[in-house]
Amino acid sequence: MKTDVEMQFSALAQQMGIARAGELRSQGTIRNIPAGTLLIGDGQPVDSLYLILDGVMSVSVDNSGRSLHLGRLGKGKWIGDVSLLSGEPLASSGVAAETPATLLELKHAVFRRLAVERPELANSIVRALIDALAERVRASDALIGSNGGGGLALEGSERVVSLEAGKDRGRLKSMLQKLAGVEAE
């Protein structure tokens, strides 16, 4: 029977082909991390792209002493793609392991080398990232537009963060999750 990690590579092979999925695996490093590991600190430098092979990662945003738990990312999702592609070296959200997790880590520097030496492989990754990014941008646009700027409130992981008069907490939280590019819980 295949493990979850092998199943995830099978899914990747279907997306980009067996040879490229195998090559991606060989270019990266498999990392097993325990629950509670802070993978990316919010606002901290990011130098790797991660593909979640197994487990659940929790995403949050911190600012001015306030912390907001945004949602969870699971198998098949990428982390560190916005930093890689936007050219912004600092993370726009924090990511921690909510459960024990297995990740394929690909250093940004390795990706950039692949873009020169193995453009077909790098392009397969870019194609996967484009689809995921488009989905997240579209979802955020729809939610921003339908929100209409009404006054709302949201609940952070440690305290309630009141932005304006509250009307529809769940809807704003959903909007913020989409804004941050993560799946709703």
Partner 1 sequence: MFFRNFLKTLPAFSHFSDGDFEALSKAMHVEQYPDGHAFIRQGEQGREMFLLVEGEVVVSRYDDLTGAGQELKDLRAGELFGLLSLVDNLPAAATCTARGAVKVASLPRTAYNLLFQFAAPIAYHFQYLIAEQLARDLYDRNQSLRRLLAGE
Q: Measured from the CB of residue 7, what is the shortest distance to partner 1 in angstroms?
A: 26
Asked if 96 is part of the footprint of partner 1 (rule: CB under 8 A), the reply reads no
Asked if 127 is part of the footprint of partner 1 (rule: CB under 8 A), the reply reads yes
Count of residues interacting with partner 1 (CB under 8 A): 45
Exposure string for 122-147, b = 16+ CB within 10 A, e = fewer: bebbbebbeeebeebeebbeebeeee
Residue from 161, 166, 171, 183 touching partner 1 (CB under 8 A): that is 161
Asked if 167 is part of the footprint of partner 1 (rule: CB under 8 A), the reply reads no
Asked if 153 is part of the footprint of partner 1 (rule: CB under 8 A), the reply reads no
Query: Which region, judged by CB under 8 A, interacts with partner 1, from 7-15, 30-38, 95-103, 173-181?
Result: 173-181
3-state secondary structure at position 152? coil
Asked if 160 is part of the footprint of partner 1 (rule: CB under 8 A), the reply reads no
Residue 62 burial class via C-beta count within 10 angstroms: exposed 0-12, middle 13-18, buried 19 and up: middle
Q: Where are the alpha helices (DSSP H) in the chain?
A: 4-16, 18-27, 81-86, 108-117, 119-147, 169-179
Q: Which of 46, 98, 49, 90 is nearest to 70 (CA)?
A: 98
Residue from 24, 46, 82, 97 touching partner 1 (CB under 8 A): that is 82
How many other CB atoms sit within 10 Å of the CB of residue 106?
Answer: 22
Partnered with residue 107 across adjacent β-strands are 48
Q: Measured from the CB of residue 180, what is the shortest distance to partner 1 in angstroms?
A: 6
- Would you give the binding string for partner 1 spanning residues 19-58, x where CB under 8 A is met? ----------------------------------------
